[in-house]
Structure 1
């Protein structure tokens, strides 16, 4: 399963507007943003990596004006971490990822005054992104590039879900890229602070995952940002599966 998850990351990065192939790496470059969560590299699973490959990767990041950064499933490139450390990278995080399959998915009730819907136009896409940014402590407004990125994801077969109150306000949401080899990551699960602890995060996660399975995915995966998120994801059917590494160059 580690290799299937890693291949889904490779596929996602390959869809970036200025994606690069650098030896055994795929580098996802998006000229419209410097966000390290969008501009990063990952190795193709099972391919040998050398110190020269890492040097070429660093040069590619610098040529693109981005900070060198990688995310990958540890078991798919077991020798890579030591090469990156030797080249000057430092560990950023080490996370356990969780998996869900249709048989384990559990759907909790959605709060009575909230609807879980797919954004159907750019105004709604901007509202969803704004709610996610607000929940993550970032600038709440969504740029035109952010909206275009989400539109492309949906049109390519990805999933987006927004939680809308009766007043029309967007309270949070989440999404997922188009499945690759039957696998996709559920990401960006967010609820604005005043609306937390009502079961909304679990409902958003379950609905995003359900839509992903309805679109043909066999496996959904995600990462928890802390103990509270971990409990939310386990309640809707996600189970610990493997380890992902994050490394960045100073």
Structure 2
């Protein structure tokens, strides 16, 4: 339960660092005026808080006022009665994901594939290349907006991690990153490899490099979620282990 609370508090800190966060009773809503994406604009409860039906009603009103879709992500055991309140208010569970954690003494670092360097993007052009590669790997348009680049720049400036896989020809093969740590806990996310560079061990190398940078900076717990069986195996090979469940819940 202690680990659940630490991971949940990490999510609270991440949303509180959005450009225009909104506090609603026991919730924090991470609002980013540059995008309407529900994967960036969502809410989470503070661990240990008591939540009432009136709190949920106020939360929905805050989303409406911000022009965003009501949506939450949270560690299930940190708010055991919340799902029932949300369901009664018309929310629907989008997914239940197991989150995995890695500690400094469980991390294993595989070799980086030949012809690839794992580096931190330092310029906006490099940041744009990373975001475009991530978008392409996740089935979206291989482009990066100015807001995307600025978001990544802010994340790095606040202590977050970004790793780009650059080939010997200068192409961006993929990359990943991690949120600025909160109480020595950080979320690793966006691990992506473009199609021509897959099945070479690059995803594991990116994950391990991102995680190693966190631990070198004093992070005690790194956590992430796997997008499927293949990524689950990648993460387990570098030292991540299942730890708990997170809920994704949304309303129209």
TM-score, with normalisation over the residues of structure 1? 0.99
Any conservation in 2 of the 1:45–1:76 contact (CA below 8 Å)? Answer: yes
* Equivalent residue number for residue 113 of structure 1: 115
Q: How does 1:229-244 map to 2 (within 5 A)?
A: 229-244=231-246
* Equivalent residue number for residue 162 of structure 2: 160
**In 1: Cα distance, 2:71 partner to 2:141 partner:** 23
Shift of 1:140: 1.0
* Equivalent residue number for residue 41 of structure 1: 43
Shift of 1:139: 1.4
Q: Any idea what SS the aligned residue of 1:179 has?
A: coil
Shift of 1:194: 1.3
- CA shift digits 1:63-116 (9 cap, x unpaired): 101000000000000000000000000000000000000100000011110000
Q: Any idea what SS the aligned residue of 1:172 has?
A: strand
User: Which of residues 214, 218, 221 is equivalent to 1:219?
Assistant: 221
User: Which of residues 100, 103, 122 is equivalent to 2:105?
Assistant: 103
- CA shift digits 1:203-246 (9 cap, x unpaired): 00000000011111000000000000000000000000000000
**In 2: Cα distance, 1:44 partner to 1:133 partner:** 30
| Off by >3 Å, runs of 4+ in structure 1 | none
**In 1: Cα distance, 2:164 partner to 2:57 partner:** 41
Q: How does 1:75-224 map to 2 (within 5 A)?
A: 75-224=77-226
Q: Any idea what SS the aligned residue of 2:153 has?
A: helix
**In 2: Cα distance, 1:5 partner to 1:134 partner:** 29
Shift of 1:177: 1.1
Q: Any idea what SS the aligned residue of 1:48 has?
A: coil
**In 2: Cα distance, 1:33 partner to 1:133 partner:** 15
Q: Any idea what SS the aligned residue of 1:180 has?
A: coil
Q: Any idea what SS the aligned residue of 2:106 has?
A: coil
**In 1: Cα distance, 2:243 partner to 2:23 partner:** 28
Equivalent residues, number: 250
Identify unmatched segments of 5+ residues in structure 2. Answer: none
Identify unmatched segments of 5+ residues in structure 1. Answer: none
Single out whichever of 175-184 and 39-48 deviates more from structure 2. Answer: 175-184
- CA shift digits 1:30-83 (9 cap, x unpaired): 000011110000000010000000000000001101000000000000000000
